[in-house]
Amino acid sequence: MHVASLREPRRGSPGDDDGCVGAGLDAGRARRPSCYDPDGPGLSRPMDWSRRLREHGTISSADPVSAPTERMLGLSDALFGIAITFLALDFGADPPTAAEDVGGYLQANLSKYFAYAFTFLLVGFQWWRHHKLFRFVKRRTDTLLLINSLLLAFVALVPFGMQVLARNGGSPVSLILFAGMMACIGGLLSILWEYSVRRNLIIPDLDPAIIKHVRMQLLIMPASFLMVVAGAFLIDFPKGPLGGFGFLLLTVIVGVIATGVFAPPPSSMVVERVDTTRAPESAASRARLLDRIRDGSGSERLKIFTDGVFAVALTILALRLTPPQQPLATGSDLLAMLSANSPALVAYFISFYVITQQWIRHVHLFDREIVATTRILWLNLILLMLVAFMPFATELTAQPGGRTAVLLYLAILTAATATETALSIATRRLDRIMGVIDDPARIKRRRAEWFVAMTILAIALILGSTMPTPETGLYALILFTGLDPICRRIAPLPPRSTTEPGASSPPSTSATTRS
């Protein structure tokens, strides 16, 4: 196992900071805030990365957030989260007026929903690249802040670009706009990295193999989108949305595959206490698993990003409520308004509750230290994509309602619950190979929660499909209020459990990673 590439940072000499926050010591003055110890206060000592790896058993540069870049990353995470959640804000702008028209309405707008899913995952992937870049950038300058702000300006334009792409059916001109915006985002990520490397804003003595690895990963995606722009000029796509969309999707998939082939994570990003022989797969599968762990990171920024998307989705639920057009003069006017909006209010509170339950389960899942691998990233992005779609599905159940709208709503909720379950399975698998011991009682509790939740959703789907009033399926979701009492009875936790969630086993005496 190689950790030599992450040696303790050198102390700066007087006057060598060049305007960089977190640079070093000035002669005769108090020490500036250290950008190397993310956990410590401004006057803490420089961080020994090798010691941190030995103590925590986490990956490479470990901490994705450092004190000098904390606010910049906070703004970036918030803007990325708001931008991708707003991708679904335009849905329902012209909803059908009759319940029997919902199916045709959904089919007519299928290209918009495809563009939404594709763009959501794509921008989430770009956020992951931003996340990875700043695992190694531990200092900042004003120029770095300006480059990052320009990047965020293009990210904020993504909902506009997606609407143009969806409304024009993937036409060549709309492809040029959308792919050009994505190429600018990817190109600015590369500029951020090259600037940070040249100005020594990264971890000192960082392994050149890691620098090259990050450079290659950041260059492949913008190159892929430039190919889309060139193709839109040169290729005569078949008529219909499948031509332009198909070419865009194929190019992005090729870019993702090329990233894995031409930019594999170097061996210097391996962590301690990783034993892939615990994974019951073939040797090739274990090798791929080790690569994903090398390419992973701490989950701090992932949790902040997730909380932001949940918060925006919950807020959009209220934006879907329609205020009265006439002034409210008397109490009877207020009651009449509430009565007219009762379906929307009921749908709002039910959705707010079930989405909050999804978030609570996510909080429990990430209560412990988790290595966020690429697989966990994709599962988490799919979960967030479904959550961000919930306000639109909620609006359809209230107006115009009907069986199709109810079944769509329940299907989205079921898919989100199944994705969260897959996320839990992926994290438990990582726990095993990282040597993390989880309380068996808590494992049994999580399985009981999944079983009861899926049972409630199955009941809701059956009721929504068969009952004369399909909204009965929505009211069945009230059974979620009994989820916790039922699980406490089925899988009680020890009253004085000494094993906390995510408690780790004693550190291994061996510093060798087996692959």
For the stretch 388-421, pLDDT in tens is 999 999 989 888 888 999 999 999 999 999 999 9
**Amino acid 63: pLDDT:** 57
Range from 110-119, 150-159, 275-284, 485-494 carrying the lowest mean pLDDT = 275-284
Q: Alpha-carbon distance 197 to 195, whole Å?
A: 5
Let me know the angle formed at the C-alpha of 252 by 370 and 426, rounded to the nearest 5 degrees: 20
Residue 258 has pLDDT above 80, yes or no: yes
Query: Cβ(138)–Cβ(399) under 8 Å?
Result: no
Count CB atoms within 10 A of the CB of residue 221. 25
Residue 2 has pLDDT above 70, yes or no: no
Q: What is the pLDDT of residues 226-253, one digit of tens each?
A: 998 998 888 877 666 566 777 888 888 8
Is 497's pLDDT higher than 50? no
State yes or no: cis peptide before 68, omega within 30 of 0: no
Q: What is the arithmetic mean of pLDDT over 148-157?
A: 96
Closest CA to 277 of 510, 100, 5, 40: 510
Residue 118, pLDDT above cutoff 50: yes
Contacts of 480 (CB under 8 A, 6+ apart): 353, 354, 357, 453, 456
Please report the pLDDT score of residue 410 as a whole number.
Answer: 94
**50, 7 contact by CB (below 8 A):** yes
Q: How confident is the model at residue 313 (pLDDT cuts 50, 70, 90)?
A: very high
Task: Write the burial class of residue 258 (CB in 10 Å: 0-12 exposed, 13-18 middle, 19+ buried).
Answer: middle
Dihedral angle, C-alpha 352, 354, 360, 362, nearest 10 °: -110
CB environment 323-334: b (16+ within 10 A), e (fewer):
eeeeeeeeeeee
pLDDT digits (tens, 9 = 90+) for 67-92: 888 899 999 999 999 999 999 988 87
Chain-wide mean pLDDT for the chain?
Answer: 77
